[in-house]
Amino acid sequence: MTGMGLEARIRRIEDRLEIADLQARYAIHIDDHDLEKVGPLFAREGRFRSVDGVMDAIGREAICAQYQGRFAALKFGFHVTHDHLITLDADDPDSAHGIVSSHAEVVRNAEPMVVGMRYHDRYVREDDAWRFADRLLHFFYYLPVDQYRAALLTRERMRAYGDARTADLPEGTPTYSTE
């Protein structure tokens, strides 16, 4: 930030705080199953997807419809975010990207499960508010509670769909950049 004026530096701080708030609102509204509040967190043509391809929706309505389908299986969820790396794009003041580490405790199809995940985000300022332009979800694990200990020792830590699948991270190649 050397050579940057005070006003520009304050704006960058405000942008980072607004993006962090966007992530916090997302986690809270998802846990509350409040899709009326989730939808506007995404850009009009925003996208939410998972590396495994199970989820991929473009546009607020499609994203909310996708979540409505997810909520049919996920009755309870408690998402907790951890580290949040935010990078403001130097060449575009209305664009940024980030990585959010997270975990969740959920009940999926009446079975308690634990989830370790990482979101890889692109953010855009739209209508004077920061929104998700793209959320790409990677999983470290998605496990029934009673399988947690044994399954963490394997690469097949994805058990959300009734079978054992290979986890996205950390062994897989992440599809993001921190630059």
The answer on pLDDT for 126 being more than 50 is: yes
The answer on pLDDT for 35 being more than 60 is: yes
Full strand arrangement of the beta sheet holding 95-108: 56-58, 42-50, 129-144, 111-126, 95-108, 74-88
The answer on pLDDT for 151 being more than 50 is: yes
Residue 178 pLDDT class (50, 70, 90 cuts) = very low
**Six-digit token pair at 176?**
């993001």
Q: What is the pLDDT, as a whole number, of residue 17?
A: 98
Q: What is the pLDDT, as a whole number, of residue 2?
A: 64
The answer to whether 140 and 118 have CB atoms below 8 angstroms apart is: yes
Q: pLDDT tens-digit profile of 65-120?
A: 999 999 999 989 999 999 999 999 999 999 999 999 999 999 999 999 999 999 99
Averaged pLDDT of the chain: 94
Q: Across residues 38-60, what is the average pLDDT? A: 97
The answer to whether 41 and 22 have CB atoms below 8 angstroms apart is: yes
Q: Which residue has the tokens 């998802």?
A: 30
The answer on pLDDT for 56 being more than 60 is: yes
Q: How remote is the C-alpha of 13 from its chain's centroid?
A: 22
Tally: H helices and E strands in the chain: 4, 6
Q: Across residues 150-176, what is the average pLDDT? A: 87
The answer to whether 124 and 43 have CB atoms below 8 angstroms apart is: yes
Q: What is the pLDDT, as a whole number, of residue 4?
A: 85
- Domain 6-151, classified CATH 3.10.450.50, yes or no: yes
Q: Across residues 11-35, what is the average pLDDT? A: 97
Q: Across residues 163-177, what is the average pLDDT? A: 79
* Residues ≥6 apart with Cβ < 8 Å to 75: 107, 110
Stronger pLDDT, 4 or 24, i.e. the higher one? 24
Q: What is the pLDDT, as a whole number, of residue 58?
A: 98
**How far apart, in whole angstroms, are the C-alpha atoms of residue 97 and residue 135?**
10
- Burial of 128 by CB count in 10 Å (0-12 exposed, 13-18 middle, 19+ buried)? exposed
- Burial of 167 by CB count in 10 Å (0-12 exposed, 13-18 middle, 19+ buried)? buried
The answer to whether 14 and 6 have CB atoms below 8 angstroms apart is: no
DSSP symbols for 121-173: EEEEEETTEEEEEEEEEEEEEEEEGGGHHHHTTSS--B-TTSS-B--STTTS-
